[in-house]
A and B are shown apart, each in its own frame.
Chain A
């Protein structure tokens, strides 16, 4: 491939102001002293309750606010607490020990819902079963903090009449439209090392971004790309090899080959454009959220550039004062296993309204046992909210009641679709960049 000659004076890559907000997701300073998960729930409820209480005053000021314990039979009130969903089909580690092993697995692995699922509300004082038909258990998951209006019935349940819709979190004002196009490329699921991954597609993507492809118009557009964000699952390593005790020489290369390949691509990218790489569920990173940055030693070449930033998942950053929030997809995928919505965007919207990025952590989604805080709370509404490793591209501009507006983006898996997403900072419009060569080949 021969790069076209371009006059450097006419095409200068645009710049943008970048500021990482990932500090909250770092666990370097945390010390593990045997703590359990109760503290993160406690921190979540504590913080969320303050927000909910302030909203309740506007919502239904005439009603008293109670704890679960203070409930009185038949008296209408508002309670605030963490939801817990009893799920019959939820897989459970104790099943490994069950006496009767069934010959056929009963549960389908992608969704564990059942019509008997039951919601329970819990605060520090106790638990109460939620009754009535107002709340559909299928919509909610364990870990969401809610304010409910209702009353205790004779059967000891709390019959729910209404739930506080807290809207989107407050948002800092969107910076004034600068008038110039600046693009951010969002991509995920490169899956280098996966048999399905087409090396040509990836190379095309890199070449496109670095301006080595297309005519002047295309190159002009490329020069307006101010940042690339890779949202997880960049490498796929053969699992058996990683876990094996000793490695034969030939396996050694099998393991390091994809890493080297990725490093070469990233080096090319980093030489041209600032780059954020987030770890994903398949990457050589820790499992629990927040996933810590991929280690430098994996990227001997790319890491020498200061444009190369290995960041956490979730990832929170400002670009020209536009606030981005994104994950590599685990939070939304987990919601899909334990609840139901019309599409992935719907799930994303819910997490914003719940003001919590990953309510199912730690219950079904691995998570570090934080002691004094819950880093997944969404106190400020981002302007752009993306999730990686989805099956298809989807987007929507979500408007809040107080003028908030959020661009929601599902980034498809690149290795399966050959699609990257391009977002214009000017107007938060997004479109796809299809580099699939499958049709041509």
Chain B
């Protein structure tokens, strides 16, 4: 929410506008614990002359666009809309505010000055009309506790003192006549701690502008002198709530819901400032916010723009906006709910051959390309802008490029006609997602939805390149053109540029397909609706804002207020985490039943009424004399009152969330329409995630409202439940009680317990599992419930948090192989580890053939040591998050990136890229980080791989882990023996000492040196000619087979037979093999030629 602009201000001089371009963009920090409405920034409105210029320019170029307008424009307004006789009902997507002139008509009676905050709601009606609604009359406020003796007179003096202090500390507000509008006494109660008194007086402080809240708060917290009361400092309440969110909470608006404005209650804006079809003014009290149910659970036909740009970088550099032109922009526009885009076009610099089904627009100058795109955005008017890494790359690049070219009229991309789009550096830090640098581009009224951010947030993947993401979710490899080739294609002819355009279009299409496939719009809108935050918050902020929003909403209903607590030091207050029962490691060949607690933490919070407002402070425990039957003492020693004294807010939120999830799941079963199903499934998922994040919110020490008493109580109960379950199972299911065997709990984790009942069939284990779950559930306080879900059979328990097994939910057929904590999923390992472990588990668990698994391991180790391993299996990938200087410890990938930069800056990895490397043989004593090398370089120069490193540091540990429970002498059996003896090392062909070596032919049979005339074999080996030839030729044949398979596959991926494959996607599993095949082909040819016919 940084879209603050002052509408009423005089237009700034051009010098000012210029200064903006030169100055460094301000740094803003959007993090979890400090959220504030920022100071008003420099206004960036256009001068009238400038506007006129733009208009003239548009007219000139209008012809290019005119033909396409009919397809681009939104549907025309019906007469009922034009005559304002119709209720306007729209789905809102984005809410922000500006500071502007008070609406004199709507706010005739009020105390404020000339300026006021105006909220803007952007949305779309059912017919697809765009709406911009200016909401007036909502004022920023917060609370403080009211000291005794507050007479109207004292309050008035207090107000004046505060007003004076605020003017002192900040002279920006000089042109505002009254800073503190009102101070009034209200009856509220703090959410913190159980209190017997129902309410206390609080002072509600209403300010003129949202940007004043932060300053005012700090004055009050630090202390202020009030005549008659003396110097006082205050705890402030709800002083840290973003203005737009405050508005949404107070008006019951949730993210992405429908809003109705009855005819007559809104006014058409006279001096329109937006490009929306319906621009109206209204009072905040006249808004009708519809809960997302029934008809209002649907989605409006949003316009979703998916785009991608290509830039022609200079050789050796990643494209920089200062130097490198934007050469192509590909756009696809899709209506929400339709499966095909209705606009597909590409804007290309210089001529570009046509593409079937795509509107190709060629321009002679970059200026025309950029302006055409701006016009396109204006005309097609997208509600949501998606793409891959658009927030960090594409959008900032376009804007910075326009600035570099001095095209001042370019960055008008938002829905506010005369406001410039700006770029800011932002840092996003969150406990869950870590620190991420990003750029923030504000485009008013349009939601940016960067699929790259979504992937990073929602999925754990080994790589986040568009290629590997689409390979993962869409099951197809995408060709990847390295940015160093792009310039060559651009400088070619219209055909090569067409080639580039096809590539660019594909990059624009994939995000849309991902969006559809993963149903992200549904899931995110549902998440917004459930938690009540705007869609844009979901990507730009962490988890806690969602809980906070719900907490604030609930508290408001109950007249509770949330204190603004100083953040606590992050080091303090750690508490014991979840329990893990001792794992009895081993390979279990009898079925293992798994008993799970359904939503354990939320259930505990509900069962024991754990909340801020039910927590009793230690003093109160002593003073209040609460009867023991009314309180729960948690295993961690805290006291909470039971719900008969005070019902907790958190339990209530959780109950609602879980009840809603139950409903959604029930509806999901009923639903037939796939769209409806998508919405419901998105909702139930959102509800589940939200329920689980409540616990985290209370434990986030640098969060909005941490309360470790709650979180440590939750985990302590969790531990108790697990222990209790173990005991009950082992006491009950015994031969003494008439069961066939004694049950044994072999392992227990956070919310599940693994039991071996001793029976040998899956079905019998399932029956006992169900029985146990039912029995034990009855001993818990509701709604804590133990469920029986699955049986593992066989089950390989390696240690805590690591296991593998076949997963059965019905007795006839296993569902899948399930692994946890095993190298099949870790991202840092090379593919060899993953393949080896997966294959072994497959052999052990599915084939039940342990000797075969052992043999497989031996063969693999032998291949590795004999240098027969496919290089792509040995590539290790690590993300480069900072440059070398910023790392204190030297690491392999960072060092390599530095070395590569020295070799060729063009292809070297940049910060944010993942760096692939292999470990090579090097001088004795060389550090591991010095032995990393670029796989391509290794291929090209025949550099020997350090197979011992791979054996010792990569595969041995994970292997031993899975084999130790199975084999007696796993280490001896697997890692020693004849298969480890034969070792072959290829010699480097052009490094180190070899540069001084003289090349001489050697006999293909025995490697003896031979004079050149003999060509192939020494005299001793001449007799073995046929045999040796057969071997050579078999080798050649194999290389040819691979060459054919690999290169035709790449042709298939790129979708063209007649053009060379350009792809340089290092994420593609066959990339290195393909490169190697090329080299092998040349070598095979040479080898064959040596055997002259």
Chain A 98-120 per-residue mask, 1 if CB under 8 angstroms from chain B, else 0 = 00010100000000000000000
Chain A 1-25 per-residue mask, 1 if CB under 8 angstroms from chain B, else 0 = 0000000000000000000000000
Residue of B495, B1043, B1069, B1084 with most chain A CB atoms under a 10 A cut-off = B1043
Q: A103-B846, A125-B353, A287-B1037 are in contact. Are A255 and B1030 (CB under 8 A)?
A: yes
Q: CB-CB < 8 A to B1049: which residues of A?
A: 92-94
Chain B 1040-1061 per-residue mask, 1 if CB under 8 angstroms from chain A, else 0 = 1101111111111001111111
A32 touches B1081 (CB 8 A): yes
B477 touches A298 (CB 8 A): no
Contact of B1057 among A28, A37, A255, A295 (CB under 8 A): A37
- Closest chain-A Cβ to B144's Cβ sits at a distance in Å of 57
Q: Does B1088 contact A (CB under 8 A)?
A: yes
Q: CB-CB < 8 A to B1078: which residues of A?
A: 34
Interface stretch among A38-46, A225-233, A409-417? Answer: A38-46
B1033 touches A286 (CB 8 A): yes
B354 touches A36 (CB 8 A): no
A286 touches B356 (CB 8 A): no
Q: A38-B1058, A41-B1057, A45-B1058 are in contact. Are A32 and B1070 (CB under 8 A)?
A: no
Chain B 841-859 per-residue mask, 1 if CB under 8 angstroms from chain A, else 0 = 0100010000000000000
Who on chain B is nearest to A242 by CB? B1034
Give complex CA distance A77, B189 in Å.
Answer: 81
- Closest chain-A Cβ to B469's Cβ sits at a distance in Å of 14
B1027 touches A287 (CB 8 A): no
Interface stretch among A131-139, A361-369, A384-392? Answer: A361-369
Q: Does B1036 contact A (CB under 8 A)?
A: yes
Who on chain A is nearest to B1037 by CB? A287
- Closest chain-B Cβ to A145's Cβ sits at a distance in Å of 11
Q: Does A84 contact B (CB under 8 A)?
A: yes
Q: Does B923 contact A (CB under 8 A)?
A: no
Q: A297-B1091, A366-B1040, A366-B1041 are in contact. Are A93 and B1070 (CB under 8 A)?
A: yes
Within 8 A of B (CB), among A349-395: 362-367, 369
Total number of residue pairs linking A and B with CB closer than 8 Å: 149
Chain A 305-328 per-residue mask, 1 if CB under 8 angstroms from chain B, else 0 = 000001000000000000000000
Q: CB-CB < 8 A to B1048: which residues of A?
A: 37, 362-364
Contact of B1027 among A96, A255, A288 (CB under 8 A): A255
Q: A103-B846, A297-B1029 are in contact. Are A243 and B1058 (CB under 8 A)?
A: no
Q: Does A304 contact B (CB under 8 A)?
A: no
A247 touches B1058 (CB 8 A): no
Contact of A38 among B477, B1025, B1051, B1084 (CB under 8 A): B1051
Q: CB-CB < 8 A to B1026: which residues of A?
A: 256, 259, 297-298, 300
Q: A93-B1070, A293-B1093 are in contact. Are A286 and B1036 (CB under 8 A)?
A: yes
Q: CB-CB < 8 A to B1057: which residues of A?
A: 37-38, 41, 82, 84, 122, 142-143, 363
- Closest chain-A Cβ to B938's Cβ sits at a distance in Å of 18
Is chain B's interface secondary structure helix, strand, loop, or mixed overall?
helix
Q: Does A75 contact B (CB under 8 A)?
A: no
Using C-beta atoms within 8 Å of the partner chain, give the interface range for chain A. 35 or more
Q: Does B1082 contact A (CB under 8 A)?
A: yes
Give complex CA distance A366, B357 in Å.
Answer: 34
- Closest chain-A Cβ to B501's Cβ sits at a distance in Å of 11
A156 touches B1037 (CB 8 A): no
B1045 touches A297 (CB 8 A): no
Q: A37-B1057, A93-B1070, A367-B1044 are in contact. Are A32 and B1082 (CB under 8 A)?
A: yes
A256 touches B1058 (CB 8 A): no
Q: CB-CB < 8 A to A243: which residues of B?
A: 1031, 1034-1035, 1038
- Closest chain-B Cβ to A80's Cβ sits at a distance in Å of 13
Q: Does B67 contact A (CB under 8 A)?
A: no
Q: Does B1089 contact A (CB under 8 A)?
A: yes
A286 touches B1058 (CB 8 A): no
Chain A 279-297 per-residue mask, 1 if CB under 8 angstroms from chain B, else 0 = 0000011111000110111
A288 touches B1058 (CB 8 A): no
- Closest chain-B Cβ to A361's Cβ sits at a distance in Å of 9
Give complex CA distance A124, B1051 in Å.
Answer: 14
Contact of B1029 among A125, A284, A310, A365 (CB under 8 A): A284
- Closest chain-B Cβ to A254's Cβ sits at a distance in Å of 10
Who on chain B is nearest to A46 by CB? B1058
Give complex CA distance A126, B1058 in Å.
Answer: 9
Q: Does B355 contact A (CB under 8 A)?
A: yes
- Closest chain-B Cβ to A365's Cβ sits at a distance in Å of 8
Q: Does B866 contact A (CB under 8 A)?
A: yes
Within 8 A of A (CB), among B1057-1093: 1057-1061, 1069-1070, 1078, 1081-1082, 1084-1085, 1088-1089, 1091, 1093
Q: CB-CB < 8 A to B477: which residues of A?
A: 94
Give complex CA distance A84, B1044 in Å.
Answer: 17
Chain B 140-182 per-residue mask, 1 if CB under 8 angstroms from chain A, else 0 = 0000000000000000000000000000000000000000000
Q: Does B982 contact A (CB under 8 A)?
A: yes
A37 touches B842 (CB 8 A): no
B842 touches A36 (CB 8 A): no
B356 touches A36 (CB 8 A): no
Who on chain A is nearest to B502 by CB? A126
Chain A 235-272 per-residue mask, 1 if CB under 8 angstroms from chain B, else 0 = 00101001101010000100110010000000000000
A97 touches B1069 (CB 8 A): yes
A285 touches B1058 (CB 8 A): no
Q: CB-CB < 8 A to A33: which residues of B?
A: 1082
Residue of A32, A237, A256, A365 with most chain B CB atoms under a 10 A cut-off = A32
Contact of B1091 among A124, A242, A295, A366 (CB under 8 A): A295
- Closest chain-B Cβ to A105's Cβ sits at a distance in Å of 14
Give complex CA distance A259, B1024 in Å.
Answer: 12
A247 touches B1038 (CB 8 A): no
Contact of B1055 among A97, A127, A362 (CB under 8 A): A127
Give complex CA distance A52, B787 in Å.
Answer: 71
Q: CB-CB < 8 A to A34: which residues of B?
A: 1078, 1082
A156 touches B357 (CB 8 A): yes
Residue of A42, A103, A297, A366 with most chain B CB atoms under a 10 A cut-off = A297
- Closest chain-B Cβ to A372's Cβ sits at a distance in Å of 14
Q: Does A146 contact B (CB under 8 A)?
A: no
Give complex CA distance A300, B1025 in Å.
Answer: 10
Give complex CA distance A285, B1036 in Å.
Answer: 8
Chain B 994-1034 per-residue mask, 1 if CB under 8 angstroms from chain A, else 0 = 00000000000000000000000000000011110111011
Contact of A284 among B356, B1030, B1052 (CB under 8 A): B1030
Within 8 A of A (CB), among B966-1009: 982, 984
Q: CB-CB < 8 A to B1029: which residues of A?
A: 284, 295, 297-298
Give complex CA distance A38, B1070 in Å.
Answer: 19
Contact of A286 among B1040, B1046, B1052 (CB under 8 A): B1040
Give complex CA distance A126, B1059 in Å.
Answer: 10
A156 touches B1038 (CB 8 A): no
Q: CB-CB < 8 A to B1027: which residues of A?
A: 247, 252, 255-256
Give complex CA distance A295, B838 in Å.
Answer: 43
- Closest chain-A Cβ to B173's Cβ sits at a distance in Å of 59
Q: CB-CB < 8 A to A82: which residues of B?
A: 1057-1058
Identify the A interface with B (CB < 8 A): 27-28, 30-34, 36-38, 41-42, 45, 68-69, 71, 82, 84, 92-94, 96-97, 101, 103, 122-128, 142-143, 156, 237, 239, 242-243, 245, 247, 252, 255-256, 259, 284-288, 292-293, 295-298, 300, 310, 362-367, 369
15 more CB-based (< 8 A) A-B contacts, given A362-B1047, A363-B1057, A366-B1041: A28-B1093, A33-B1082, A34-B1082, A38-B1056, A41-B1057, A69-B353, A92-B1052, A123-B1058, A142-B1057, A255-B1030, A256-B1026, A288-B1043, A292-B1093, A298-B1029, A366-B1044
A-B residue pairs in contact (CB < 8 Å), sample of 8 = A41-B1057, A82-B1058, A94-B1069, A101-B838, A124-B1059, A125-B495, A127-B1056, A285-B1037
The 5 A-B residue pairs whose C-beta atoms are closest, nearest first, are A287-B1037, A366-B1044, A242-B1034, A97-B1069, A287-B1040
